[in-house]
Structure 1
């Protein structure tokens, strides 16, 4: 009898979650800019996954007899750079680097931020210590903090991902802490404590799932910042090193040829702009879609 009662209780709960998911998707799809952003992100993922199929030239292959060809050349759709390397190939393989660095750094940042935020929000004794550490990280401008970390670890795309992940921790921790402080005052949390539920069970099973909405929005918009920061650091020579096909490094390579071959910098610049725009508008769309006060009929 108890098993049947538990099963019957779980079914309405599962249906409610499914209904909320459908409503969230409907709200998101009503946002035209968010849909456009999703299309751009899906195209980026397709380019990254099927890069070897979509290009005819190696991104590293030099051909000094075909340097600085313009856009629309018969064999090179987006032209070539000053070493005769195909820009389309380098652009497509650069998509892989942007996605890998973005996902890894945001993922690591979320792990650190979630851990600190949950501990700080739930355990008041740890709150002061953890938040002072977070405030210390906030004292540095993000890009300068990343540059400092790279100066210590060395210049490489791996160290860029590590630096940006550390830079992502304080923002995530603040968001999670605020959510935990609000959620732990709810009656069902107090009820769980009164029946003797362990702190770990309350945190992982009841508080963390209710923090997911702001975390998803943060992660999506953080991807835009991460891709932009990766390109900026590579442009400064602190990230991807030649001849790695990274968008920021491609812009840096083309800055000396802006009058003779402007496409060398303009093409990767447009790629960065589109992807950053896509993640930002999707993040805005998710924020609105996950808002329970949002009117579906609007």
Structure 2
């Protein structure tokens, strides 16, 4: 007769994490409950599964044998449950960065409801759109360099970099006459320094040393900082069209740089079998080919 599923689950979590406390946090129970399950399992099997030394626990030889099978078995169960959930639910989960969600997806979302009233959309935030690290995410919107995307990737939007700041910032620090002048001004960065390095390179400016300035993940934070006069940022056309039109920021130059980055569809393996996912992919692809009326 097999031990209880609860006891085996507690053992698997403790074996995988190497800690009763960590196992308890993972299963949302108390460490005492984990200890009770393990003790009962050891009594039923007639062998010790862990060697205890203070708060640390180490698998015995028998514990190691059971752990190898338990971890594999529960992993298979979790995979099966996730697969069933993906095929039965009518909601499509999309992982996308905050600025893409706010500036590109939200203005178009009502059109999806009109065309697919029986399908729900759930948009979850991610600052690293290439990482599919969330359960049941069907589609990831990736922000990458154009040159680094595979040929089969589905492109949604091309982005061109421009230098932007507020009028107040220019009054305080200006005038800015050449791109090289920006090397002496406060610069704000998104994720890393490569955005500015690429911009300077495209403008023919040699960067003599390491660029300085704070780095932020969320582009919306950068736009707010630029609008409040905290520094100059690399803005991405067409995502900042509204900010420019309403005067929150201004372009410092009339640069015409070939698109360097873009947003791409990354579809989780196996999810295209669902009609709802295929509908969402088709809708996103069609939206990417339409002209935004606000830019006409």
Structure with more strand by fraction: 2
Whether these two folds match at TM > 0.5 is: no
Structure with more helix by fraction: 1
TM range (shorter): under 0.3
TM-score by length of 2: 0.24
Larger radius of gyration: 2
